Chains A and B, each alone.
Chain A
Amino acid sequence: MNTYDLVIVGGGPAGLAAAASAKDHGIDSILIIERDKELGGILNQCIHNGFGLHTFKEELTGPEYASRFIDMVLDRGIEYKLNTMVMDISADKKVTAMNREDGMFEVQAKAVILAMGCRERSRGALNIPGYRPAGIYSAGTAQRLVNMEGYMPGKEVVILGSGDIGLIMARRMTLEGAKVKVVAELMPYSGGLKRNIVQCLNDFDIPLKLSHTVVDIEGKNRVEAVTIAEVGSDRKPIPGTEERYTCDTLLLSCGLIPENELSKSAGVALNPVTSGPVVNDSLETNIDGIFACGNVLHVHDLVDYVSQEASAAGKNAANYIKNGKEKDAKIVEILPVDGVRYTVPKYIRPTEMDDTLTVRFRVGAVYKNCAIATYFDDQLISKRKRPVMAPGEMEQVILDKKKLGEYPDLSKITIKIEEA
C-alpha cells in the first residue's frame, strides 16, 4: 500500500489551496485525488467574472481563478491523480480509490483533508408535484451543458430558486439566446448575492418573484408550462395566486448540499444545520487528523473565502503531521443563537488557535440595522453594526487569541444578532 503524509480528497479550489499551503508548511508527501478529468473543480464551468477580488485584487473568471491555484500546485510539484474516484475513507485514514489505470487501490495517509465540495438540491428532494418530463435541470447541470459542452438545454426558461448559480444562469441563458421569463424564490429574500441580483436579473429585466414557488409542471415529454404561486408565511402556496408560464425549461437553484457521504463512512460527525462536518479552530473533524474545508464543510458565497479556509486547513494538517495533536487542550464551544444559524468552527481551543481566528456563519433571516454581538460567557466582548444581513451573504466574527487569554475560565462563546 502506498503511503502519503497527506491525502486531499478533491482537486477543486479547496483542495488546491489546501495542498499548496500544506506544502508551504513543510509537507512534501501529498496526494490530491480528483474525480474529474482536470483540476479546478466546479470553477471550470463558472466562466463569468467576479472571482478573486479579495485574494488577487482583480476580477477573474472561474477558470482563471482556478488556474492560479493549479499553477501553485504544479509549481510545487504536488502529486495528483485525475479521473480517480475515492470510494471510501476509513477512520484510520486509509483511502480507497479507483480509476481506469490503477484499478481499485488503497493509500494510507497520516492526515486527510476533505475537500469534496457540494451538490445541488434536486427536483425530487424539493418534492415539486407535476409531470417528470425532460427540461428540468439543476442550474449547475445547465451551466455545464452550456459553458463546457456548448449546448442549450432550452429556449424558454423559468428558474426556481435565487441561489447564485441560478442567477448566473439566468444571465448566461439570456446571453446565449434563451428567454428567461421569471425567477421564483420561495423565501421572502434572495438566496444569492446582492450583486448577482443586480448584474444578472435587474440588468436584463428578468423579474424576481419572492415568496413564490412552483406548484405544477406540465408536459409529458418535454416541459410545456410551469405554474408558480405565491406562498404565505408558512411557505405554503396561497390558492388563487397561481400564474402559468409556458416554457420548455425549468432550472432549479434551490440550495447546495455538502457532499459528505465519504465523511460519514469515516465516522465524521456532521452538523445538521450545515450538513458539513463539525470542526474545531484547526478545521479538524471529530476524527483525529481528518480536516475539512470549502463547500464540503459549509456552503460559501465567495471562492476567496474557500481559498482562505483551505489554506488554513492545509497549514493545520501540516502541523498535525509534524507535531501530532495536543490532546489536553481546553475546548470552548461557540453557541449560535438569536438569528445565527451555525458557526464554523463550532469549537475552539484558546491555547492552540492562531493569533486571530475567523468564525464564519449565516443568519436565518434578513436583518436591517442590527449588530453582531459576541459574548464570552455572559460578558459582551464585541458588537459590530451591520446595516443589512441576509441568509445569502456569509457573516464573520474575528476572535483574538490574546483577548481569549484574558478569560482562562471561559466556558462558552455566544454569537448572536442584537438590535444595534
Chain B
Amino acid sequence: MYDVAIIGAGVVGSAIARELSKYQVNACVIEREEDVCNGTSKANSAIIHGGFDATPGTLKAKLNVRGNFLMDELARDLDIPFKRNGSLVVCTKDQDRSGLEKLLEKGTSNGVPGLRIIEREELIAMEPNLSDDVTCALFAPTGGIVCPFHMTMAFAENACTNGVKFFLNTQVDTIEKNGDSYRISTLHTDTKNKETFEAKVVINAAGVYADVFNNMVSENKLHITARKGEYCLLDKDAGTHVSHTIFQLPSKMGKGVLVTPTVHGNLLVGPTAVDVDDKEAVNTTASGLDSLAATAARSVKNVPMRQVITSFAGLRAHEDSDDFVIGEVKDAKGFINAAGIESPGLSSAPAIAEMVTDIVKGLLPLEKNPDFVGTRKGILRLDTLSLEERNKLIKEHPEYGNIICRCEMITEGEIMDAIHRPLGARSLDGVKRRTRAGMGRCQAGFCSPRTMEILEREVPMSIFDITKNGVGSNIVVGYNKEV
C-alpha cells in the first residue's frame, strides 16, 4: 500500500514527487512511457513565463507567478539550465496599444515585478531584429527560458534519490475506489504484465489524459481537449537572432507565435494552436509548419527559417473551464487532480507541487523526511570547465575525452553518466534529452550508431532492444539477410 500514487511523470508529476519526498511518505509515480518527460513536458515553448497573461484570481495567474519566483532557487539546487532573458510582448502598427496596457494591468494585479511598456527606440536597441511594424512592447524582466527536459528530470531524479519509486512503461488501465484507498490496475507496455497498485491518495497528473482518470472516479466530469502546437527549432547559428522571448499581442489574426532563444542557444519558433481529437496526434502538418514563418515575421524580421534543424508538435491539455483544475475531487476523497495543465504549466509546476503537497498534508500525516537531500547535480557541462579541470577529468575518466556527438560536442562520459544516474536513459531519445547528443544540426545521423554501442555495453542491453523512444520504436530489426 502506497501513501501516494502519482499518475504521470511529466513536469507536474515529477515536481509533485520531489516536493512530497521532503516528507516521510511512501510514494510512487506511474508513467506509461519508457522515460520521464515524454508527453507535453517535452514538446512546448520551454518558457518560464512572467505571469502577466493569465486573468487575475485564476490558478494560472497565482501559480505562474509563484512558480516563476521559485525558479532561481530550484535552478541552483537542482542544476537546471535556466536564464531570465526577459520577455517582450510586441504591438505592431495595425494593433491597438491599449492591448498592452491591459496586459500591464493584469500583470501588475498578478504581482509580476518590473513590468513596463517600452517604446520603439529603446526596443530596437534591445532587439534589432524586431519587425519594422513593431511600435512598442510590454517588457517582463522576470520571463525566462529553461530546459524542460532537465527541469523534469531534475525533479524526477531528486525524487527518486529521496525514495519515491518510479514505474515506467506502466499504463494505468483502471482506477477504483476500494474502501479508504484506491486500486490502480496497470499494464506493462513491454512485458504486458498486469500489476495492481494500492494507494491511499492518488494524484492525477496525467496531462491530456487527466480527464479520463478523473472521470473514472468522479461524477464531476472533466473534459480535456488536446490542443496541438507545432514548432520549428533552428540551428545555433540562428540562436542570437533575438535575445529576449518575443511574444505577439493577440489580435484578430490569432494569438501569434513566439520567437525565442532556447537556454541551449538554438532559436525556437512556434507554436500553432489547433484542437485535435486524437490525444496521441503529435504529428506535424505541412500547413502548420508553413504558417510559422509568416506568423513569426509579424514580430521578428528575417527569421532564418532555412536553418531549421527539426520540427515537432506537442499537445496542450486544455480543460473546458480554461483554468488549471487542482484539488481534491469532491466526490472522491483522496483523489487529487492536477489537471488541465496547459500553458503556463511548465512555469507553474513548482507552485503546483507546493499546492498539491499542501492538500496531501490535509489527508495524510506528513512528517519531515530527515534524510531529504535537496540538491542534485546534472550531467557535467564540460564547457564550464577550464582547460586544466577538463584535462584532469579526462585523465581520471578518459571517456570524457571521446566526442560522440560532434554537433553538440557531447562525450562518451556524459552519455555514460546519463545511463547510470537515477532513472537513467535506456533509449536514444533518453540519451538525447539528458545530454543533447543527437540534438544538433545533423539530428543524430552521425552519433546514433555510436550511442547504441554505448547503451548496449553500459546498460547492458541487446542492440535489438534499443529503441528510439520506448516500446515498439526499435532502431534495428535483425542481422543482415535475416529480416
A binding-site residues for B, Cβ under 8 Å: 35, 83, 85, 87, 98-104, 119-120, 122-125, 127, 129-134, 137-138, 140-141, 144-146, 148-155, 176-178, 215-218, 220-222, 237, 248
Contacts and interface: CB of A to CB of B under 8 A. Distances in A.
Given A119-B442, A124-B310, A178-B483, A130 B284 contact: yes
Contacts of B479: 150-152
Determine the interface band of chain B, counting residues with CB < 8 A from chain A: 35 or more
A127 B308 contact: yes
Contact of A133 (B289, B399, B473, B477): B473
B174 interface: no
B475 A153 contact: yes
B284 A129 contact: yes
A255 B284 CA distance: 22
Contact of B476 (A100, A130, A152): A152
B445 A120 contact: yes
Nearest to A96: B387
Interface in B430-473: 441-443, 445-446, 448-449, 463, 467-473
A96 to B, nearest CB: 9
A125 B284 contact: no
19 contacts: A98-B401, A99-B402, A102-B401, A103-B394, A119-B446, A122-B442, A123-B310, A130-B283, A132-B282, A134-B474, A138-B445, A145-B449, A149-B449, A149-B463, A152-B476, A152-B480, A153-B476, A153-B477, A176-B483
A99 B286 CA distance: 43
For the complex of A and B, 6 pairs with smallest distance between CB atoms: A124-B310, A221-B472, A134-B468, A122-B443, A103-B391, A100-B398
A152 B401 contact: no
A35 B394 contact: no
Contacts of B403: 35, 85, 98
B298 interface: no
Interface string B262-286: 0000000000000000001011111
**Highest count of chain B CB atoms <10 Å: which of A127, A153, A215:** A127
A220 B280 contact: yes
Contacts of B311: 124, 127, 129
Contacts of A83: 402
A113 B398 CA distance: 28
B426 to A, nearest CB: 14
A221 B169 CA distance: 14
B442 A120 contact: yes
A134 B469 contact: yes
B25 interface: no
Contacts of B482: 152, 177
B394 A104 contact: yes
Interface in B306-331: 308-312
A130 B313 CA distance: 9
Contact of A141 (B233, B409, B448): B448
B395 interface: yes
B281 to A, nearest CB: 9
B390 A87 contact: no
A221 B312 contact: no
B391 A104 contact: yes
Contacts of A148: 449
Contacts of A152: 476-480, 482-483
B481 interface: yes
B401 A101 contact: yes
B483 to A, nearest CB: 5
A125 B309 contact: yes
Nearest to A123: B443
Contact of A134 (B401, B441, B446, B467): B467
A106 to B, nearest CB: 9
Contacts of A87: 409
Given A129-B286, A149-B449, A176-B480, A35 B391 contact: no
Given A134-B469, A222-B474, A144 B286 contact: no
B88 interface: no
Contacts of B7: none
Given A127-B232, A132-B312, 7 more contacts: A35-B406, A98-B394, A124-B443, A125-B441, A133-B468, A217-B283, A237-B286
B288 interface: yes
Contacts of A153: 475-477
A100 B391 CA distance: 10
Nearest to B393: A103
A153 B395 CA distance: 37
B430 to A, nearest CB: 13
Nearest to B43: A132
A131 B280 CA distance: 10
A222 B472 contact: yes
A78 B355 CA distance: 67
B480 A177 contact: yes
B286 A215 contact: yes
Contacts of A119: 441-442, 445-446
Contacts of B468: 133-134
A99 B472 contact: no
B469 to A, nearest CB: 7
A124 B398 contact: no
A103 B476 contact: no
B477 A129 contact: no
B283 A131 contact: yes
A282 B398 CA distance: 39
A103 B472 contact: no
Contacts of B481: 176-177
Interface string B240-252: 0000000000000
**Highest count of chain B CB atoms <10 Å: which of A35, A101, A149:** A149
Contacts of A149: 449, 463, 476
Contacts of A154: 477, 483
B445 A141 contact: yes
A120 B33 CA distance: 31
